[in-house]
Amino acid sequence: MALLAGADAMAAVRLGVAMTALQVSIGSLNDIVDAPHDRGRTPAKPIPGGLVSTTEAWAAAIGGAALGLALALPSGVATLLLAMVVLAIGYAYDLAFKGTAWSWLPFAIGIPLLPVFGWLGATGGLPSSFTILLPVAVIAGAALAVANARADVERDAAAGVESVATRLGIERAWAVNAGLLGVVVLLAAVTLIDQGAPALAMLGALGAGIIIGIGVFLGRHADSAGRERAWELEAVGVGILAAAWLAGTTLGQ
């Protein structure tokens, strides 16, 4: 996203590593919070499985946050503040929203901040066209949240933890996930065609749509590990679709 905004390669790598570090921090805290519930569950997660100690997980959480914020700072105060917001939303999920029927909300708010972070970090500002991109990103974030919750539905149910997937039921949750992602792909396709996007952008969007479709298809009847891989495929596809969309239309101008 930073490269699409015009950043040089080093700045783009710095911003990419910064966001990765922030997500490492959020994910590590999530595993720390979940460790008591995950003990004895199958498949085992890193802490209860003995692959990572709680101390090491805390080191990753604190170190990831520090590294992410430090790498965001060279892009300016606004990018640093946005990095703090990303952490706050992720931590809110880990500590408060996870295990509730509202667990999708931090995803719906947080996912749209990923392209914003890349663009803001590269340029110091945002084009007015992001008012179009962001609502669609909210839909994508909600869809990915439902898919993520489906991956843990048996574990959550066994631990007495409520999520959007346990509330909806695994089949209805799949339908919601598929429907929301279908809306995202359709809106992107219509926009690209309407803007007369170049062939490369159309090809990228097509490839992204195929990846998303494979993830949705594979996740329908898969076991917990399969649903985990499926939602990761969906997330990769959504990221590629966002890049192709911005590259192929006037939204980024």
pLDDT, one tens digit per residue, over 140-183 is 999 999 998 898 888 778 777 778 888 889 999 999 999 999 99
Note the pLDDT of residue 163: 83
Which CATH entry fits the domain spanning 1-99: 1.10.357.140, 3.40.605.10, 2.60.120.200, 3.90.226.30?
1.10.357.140
> Which regions of the chain are under pLDDT 70?
40-43, 250-253
Report the alpha-carbon distance of residue 231 to residue 91 in Å, rounded: 21
Domain boundaries along the sequence of the chain: 1-99, 127-253
Q: What is the model's pLDDT at position 238? A: 93
pLDDT of residue 112: 86
Sign of CA dihedral 35, 138, 187, 174: positive
- Residues 6+ positions from 102 with CB-CB distance below 8 Å: 164
Pick the CATH number of 127-253 from 3.40.50, 1.20.120, 1.10.1060, 2.40.50: 1.20.120
Looking at residue 46, what is its pLDDT?
87
Give this prediction's pTM. 0.76
